[in-house]
Amino acid sequence: MAHVAAVALGTILAAGAIYALCRHLSCAPLPAALGAIAWALSPTLLEPELARTVVRIPGPSALVPFALAGAFSRERRRWPFLVVGVVCAIARWRVPEGLAAETGALEALVLAVLAGLGAQRLWDGEGGAAFLIGAAAAAAVALRSESGAAERLVEAAPAAAALLLAAVLSRETRARAGLVALVGLVATQRALEIGIAAVRR
């Protein structure tokens, strides 16, 4: 019971810290909430033992389009996060075995912050092209994954849905109602991933 309470408290504190950081980076409440959800529910935070053995993107595939849009944000303070992300990617590429335990938390942090910045760009009516490219890439990678059928579906379907939403919605609609739907898509995908992992165990 004490362990569950400690995990819950840690998750709440982590979410609050990333929310405050995203707000400091000039994100509106909803984009900052996306960053908080992405970090607090990241696999490396909730499933550290799994992260030690599985090399994968430290977050749901539907988060990737937001992060790509955030990478091209006009916010100058994004640069330290981009540098850390590149260093983690190079380290993981050069020495992949078992490195997820060392780089996973940092990667999840970078992904969460960039996702918050990307959501802010959509909130401002910008970043549509980068979001579309990121969604298409995430869906393609998910379809080529070697995971089981259920995991592959949970990875590919939300990214494809994000691609469809971003493509059909006007810039004005995407900036408000569309963004709410996309954030809900990320949260739903992560909940499904957690549920599948629990069933597998």
Please give the pLDDT value at position 32.
96
Please give the pLDDT value at position 1.
65
Q: Where are the alpha helices (DSSP H) in 41-99?
A: 43-46, 48-51, 64-71, 79-94
Please give the pLDDT value at position 16.
93
Contacts of residue 188, defined as CB under 8 A and 6 or more positions apart, other chains included, come to 158
Spatial distance between the Cα atoms of 18 and 105, rounded to a whole number of angstroms: 13
Please give the pLDDT value at position 97.
57
Please give the pLDDT value at position 179.
93
Burial-class residue 154 by CB neighbours within 10 Å (0-12, 13-18, 19+): buried
Please give the pLDDT value at position 117.
96
How far apart, in Å, are the Cα atoms of 169 and each of 33, 63, 173?
22, 18, 6
Tokens of 16: 């609050």
Whether the CB-CB separation of 61 and 139 falls below 8 Å is answered with: yes
Please give the pLDDT value at position 55.
47
Spatial distance between the Cα atoms of 74 and 57, rounded to a whole number of angstroms: 24
How far apart, in Å, are the Cα atoms of 141 and each of 48, 165, 175?
23, 19, 26
Can you count the helices (H) and strands (E) in the chain? 11, 0
Whether the CB-CB separation of 193 and 156 falls below 8 Å is answered with: no
Tokens of 110: 């970078």
Spatial distance between the Cα atoms of 167 and 165, rounded to a whole number of angstroms: 5
Please give the pLDDT value at position 12.
86
pLDDT, one tens digit for every residue, the chain (201 residues): 666 677 778 788 889 999 999 999 999 999 999 999 999 888 877 776 555 544 456 678 899 999 999 999 988 899 999 999 898 888 777 765 555 556 778 888 999 999 999 999 999 999 999 999 999 999 998 888 777 788 888 889 999 999 999 999 998 898 889 999 999 999 999 888 888 877 776
Spatial distance between the Cα atoms of 143 and 95, rounded to a whole number of angstroms: 25
Rg over CA atoms, the chain? 16
